[in-house]
């Protein structure tokens, strides 16, 4: 996954501090990019000319309330998670909240409600 950012160096601190990710690898070809990891999750931020405000991804968690509290402890500047239940696909519902990173990427973080 190549999530577009304008500046990799400016974007990374948010992911390292708030999402508690670590730098895994970097590349300058075909675009400047960095792979960030946490547990079994990997994302690649890339200076690929894409519009970050039109991109993002979904993270499934076991406990959405605990996930929000962890992000807040790590520095997320959001008081109210505005939890909602969203349905995706055929009968899949999640209790979710959204985080918009300073780079403009939007993340949906959700706990399964039904499967």
- pLDDT tens figures, 81-113: 999 999 987 778 999 999 999 999 999 999 999
| Homologous superfamily in CATH for domain 2-114 | 2,3-Dihydroxybiphenyl 1,2-Dioxygenase, domain 1 (3.10.180.10)
12 has a pLDDT exceeding 70: yes
Give first-to-last CA distance, the chain, whole Å.
25
pLDDT value at residue 64: 98
- Other C-beta atoms within 10 Å of 99: how many? 20
Question: Nearest 10 degrees: CA dihedral of 52, 57, 61, 66?
Answer: 20
The predicted model gives 38-47 an average pLDDT of 95
- Distance CA(46)–CA(8), nearest Å, equals 7
pLDDT value at residue 115: 59
The predicted model gives 50-71 an average pLDDT of 96
Q: What is the mean pLDDT of the chain?
A: 95
Whether the CA torsion 88, 105, 45, 84 is positive or negative: it is negative
Q: What percent of the chain has pLDDT over 90?
A: 91
Q: pTM for the complete prediction?
A: 0.92
């Amino acid at each position: 996954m190549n999530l577009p950012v304008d500046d990799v160096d400016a974007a990374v601190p948010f992911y390292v501090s708030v999402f508690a990710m670590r730098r895994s690898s970097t590349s300058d070809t075909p675009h400047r990019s960095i792979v960030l990891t946490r547990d079994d999750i990997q994302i690649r931020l890339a200076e690929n000319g894409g519009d970050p405000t039109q991109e993002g991804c979904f993270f499934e968690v076991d406990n959405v309330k605990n996930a929000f509290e962890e992000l807040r402890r790590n520095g997320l500047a959001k008081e109210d998670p505005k939890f909602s239940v969203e349905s995706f696909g055929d009968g899949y519902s999640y209790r979710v909240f959204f985080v918009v990173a300073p780079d403009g990427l939007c993340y949906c973080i959700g706990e399964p409600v039904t499967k």
